[in-house]
């Protein structure tokens, strides 16, 4: 069983990256179906355009729930991998077991909090009289599965970080397959509409969570969830959160971005514009999730080899990651600019929605060709345990640039709707260039001087 771990420090880096990335990419492609299949079916029910807008209003809350799973899972997995690279499997198990307990606690808190305050939150997020009913119906059922969502999304990185990429891929595929099969049954056969979509998602997440726990408690896992480490240790918890706050900010601020966009789009374009944004959010996942799969494949290689002081392998892995991510986003940019209607028809073919979304895509995704560079650099910092730099870069694109631009640009353009959409490419280009330059500046310090943060340094950095 240790062979899976030792392979991370031996052999061809390109072969390893392909071996680990391919299952992760497949998992992310399946995950795209998992995340957007609800909207594909919802777009084809009666009043599908309004129902889709309602689900879009609820989507920021779903993103926040996912962000908390990343806070723990993506924060803890690289630390566990670094410990494994140092041949300290007991330390890795303590990190993973503490992370599991944190996810359970967060799941319960999030369920209670959002159940109590969901309606005023949805109104604040841009709901209208026409969309509030759909938003409430979808969200109420979805919240019942929050604990399982936390486990499914938060513990799967601990499978991938051990080198079991195929098992991590199967986790996602199981959930996606169940969701895709149950969606049309609940939505159309049982005539449950958006409630059926939410119920299918919950059942899929429950099965995924059970599959993950069976593996991590079982014999095949190199590191296991241990009963003796289930009581959270403050030192471990703070270290996990210090590194996980970067991906948490990246996802949570995506929620803030959607809230800001939905409010402004509702103001300048009504429910139709909000429906267009829901479709474009799904297309954004088509663009970003596969390169996150490549980054997931690279993460255990980078983290393990950094922990074992094999810095040449870290550098080679980063270069391959960077080239792959940039190539993919440039290809997707070209397709979106040339064939925007093809992407829209996947979700809805209503003429009014098709027209406004196709027009919006060319503006909204104008800067996406550089997004691969940002993902590659951002995720490499994360894999190296560089919490401080990752946090700053996570804040840059959305908090410093995108959200303010959503409110500022309409003041300077006559076409207010176009101005809101322009905020995305402006922020994408500035953030990608800045992140890449930052990585170049810190390249020598991070990789050559081997300046990974210890637990104590990480705690000091977040004080």
> pLDDT value at position 14?
85
What's the pTM? 0.75
Q: Name the percent of the chain in helix, strand, coil, to the closest 5.
A: 85, 0, 15
**Chain segment 395-439, per-residue pLDDT in tens:** 888 889 999 999 999 999 999 999 999 999 999 999 999 989 988
pLDDT of residue 310 exceeding 60: yes
Cβ partners under 8 Å of residue 86, min gap 6 = 307, 308
Place of tokens 């940019």: 333
SS3 449: coil
SS (H, E, C) 161-224: CCCCHHHHHHHHHHHHHHHHHHHHHHHHHCCCCHHHHHHHHHHHHHHHHHHHHHHHCCCCCCCC
CA 255, 170, 297, 85 torsion-angle sign: positive
Characterize 197-214 residue by residue with b for buried, 16 or more Cβ atoms within 10 angstroms of its Cβ, and e for exposed.
bbbbbbbbbbbbbebbee
Q: How far apart are CA 24 and CA 293, in angstroms?
A: 5
Contact 176, 33 (CB under 8 A): yes
pLDDT of residue 6 exceeding 50: no
> pLDDT value at position 347?
85
Q: How far apart are CA 371 and CA 180, in angstroms?
A: 29
> pLDDT value at position 447?
64
Tokens, residue 287: 């663009």
Task: Taking residues 228-249, report their average pLDDT.
Answer: 90
SS (H, E, C) 133-147: HHHHHHHHHHHCCHH
Tokens, residue 344: 């829209």
Contact 27, 293 (CB under 8 A): yes
Q: Determine the angle formed by the axes of helices 351-364 and 416-443, rounding to 10 degrees.
A: 40
pLDDT of residue 37 exceeding 90: no
Length of the chain: 463
Place of tokens 């513990």: 155
Cβ partners under 8 Å of residue 451, min gap 6 = 445
Higher-pLDDT residue of 101, 59: 101
Q: For residue 35, name the pLDDT band (cuts at 50, 70, 90).
A: low
Contact 318, 298 (CB under 8 A): yes
Phi, psi of 163 (to 5 degrees): 95, 5
> pLDDT value at position 452?
47
> pLDDT value at position 253?
81
pLDDT of residue 454 exceeding 50: no
**Chain segment 378-388, per-residue pLDDT in tens:** 888 878 877 67
Place of tokens 């098992």: 167
Mean pLDDT over the full length of the chain: 87
> pLDDT value at position 455?
40
Tokens, residue 215: 């593996």
Contact 288, 250 (CB under 8 A): no
**Chain segment 182-194, per-residue pLDDT in tens:** 999 999 999 999 9
> pLDDT value at position 396?
87
Q: For residue 396, how far is the Cα from the chain centroid?
A: 17
Task: Give the helix ranges, DSSP H, for 346-386.
Answer: 351-364, 371-383
Q: How far apart are CA 73 and CA 77, in angstroms?
A: 6
CA 210, 212, 213, 219 torsion-angle sign: positive
> pLDDT value at position 446?
60
Cβ partners under 8 Å of residue 93, min gap 6 = 223, 224, 225, 226, 229
> pLDDT value at position 161?
85
- Range 7-10, long-range pairs (CB < 8 A, 24+ positions): 7/163, 8/85, 8/163, 8/300, 8/301, 8/304, 8/305, 9/85, 9/304, 9/305, 9/308, 9/310, 9/313
């Amino acid at each position: 069983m240790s062979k899976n771990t030792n392979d991370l420090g031996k052999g061809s880096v390109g072969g390893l990256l392909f071996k680990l990335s391919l299952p992760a990419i497949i998992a992310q492609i399946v995950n795209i179906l998992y995340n957007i299949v609800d909207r594909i079916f919802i777009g084809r029910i009666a009043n599908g355009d309004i129902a889709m807008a309602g689900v879009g209003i609820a989507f920021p809350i779903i993103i926040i729930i996912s962000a908390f799973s990343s806070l723990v899972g993506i924060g803890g997995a690289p630390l566990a991998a670094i410990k494994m690279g140092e041949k300290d499997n007991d330390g890795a198990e303590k990190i993973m077991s503490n992370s599991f307990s944190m996810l359970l606690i967060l799941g319960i808190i999030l369920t209670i909090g959002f159940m109590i305050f969901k309606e005023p939150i949805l109104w604040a997020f841009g709901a209208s009289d026409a969309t509030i009913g759909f938003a409430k119906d979808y969200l109420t059922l979805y919240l019942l599965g929050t604990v399982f969502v936390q486990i499914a999304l938060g513990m799967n990185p601990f499978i991938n970080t051990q080198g079991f990429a195929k098992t991590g891929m199967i986790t996602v595929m199981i959930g996606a397959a169940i969701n895709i099969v149950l969606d049309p049954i609940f939505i159309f056969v049982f005539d449950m509409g958006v409630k059926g979509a939410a119920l299918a998602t919950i059942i899929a997440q429950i099965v995924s969570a059970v599959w993950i726990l069976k593996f991590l408690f079982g014999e095949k896992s190199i590191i296991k969830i241990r009963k003796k480490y289930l009581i959270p240790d403050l030192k471990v918890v703070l270290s996990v959160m210090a590194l996980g706050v970067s991906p948490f900010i990246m996802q949570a601020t995506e929620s803030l971005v959607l809230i800001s966009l939905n409010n402004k789009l509702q103001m300048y374009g009504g429910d139709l514009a909000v429906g267009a944004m829901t479709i474009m959010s799904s297309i954004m996942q088509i663009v970003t999730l596969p390169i996150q799969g490549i980054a997931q494949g690279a993460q255990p290689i980078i983290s393990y080899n950094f922990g074992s002081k094999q810095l040449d392998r870290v550098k080679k892995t980063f270069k391959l990651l960077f080239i792959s991510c940039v190539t993919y986003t440039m290809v997707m940019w070209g397709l979106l600019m040339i064939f925007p209607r093809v992407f829209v028809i996947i979700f809805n073919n209503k003429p009014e929605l098709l027209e406004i979304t196709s027009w919006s895509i060319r503006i909204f995704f104008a800067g996406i060709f550089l997004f691969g560079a940002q993902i590659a650099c951002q995720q490499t910092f994360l894999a190296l345990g560089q919490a401080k730099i990752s946090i700053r870069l996570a804040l840059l694109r959305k908090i410093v640039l995108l959200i303010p631009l959503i409110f500022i640009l309409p003041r300077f353009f006559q076409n207010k709707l176009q101005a809101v959409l322009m905020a995305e490419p402006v922020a994408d280009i500035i953030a990608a260039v800045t992140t890449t330059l930052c990585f170049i500046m810190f390249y020598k310090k991070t990789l050559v001087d081997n300046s990974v943060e210890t637990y104590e340094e990480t705690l000091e950095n977040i004080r």
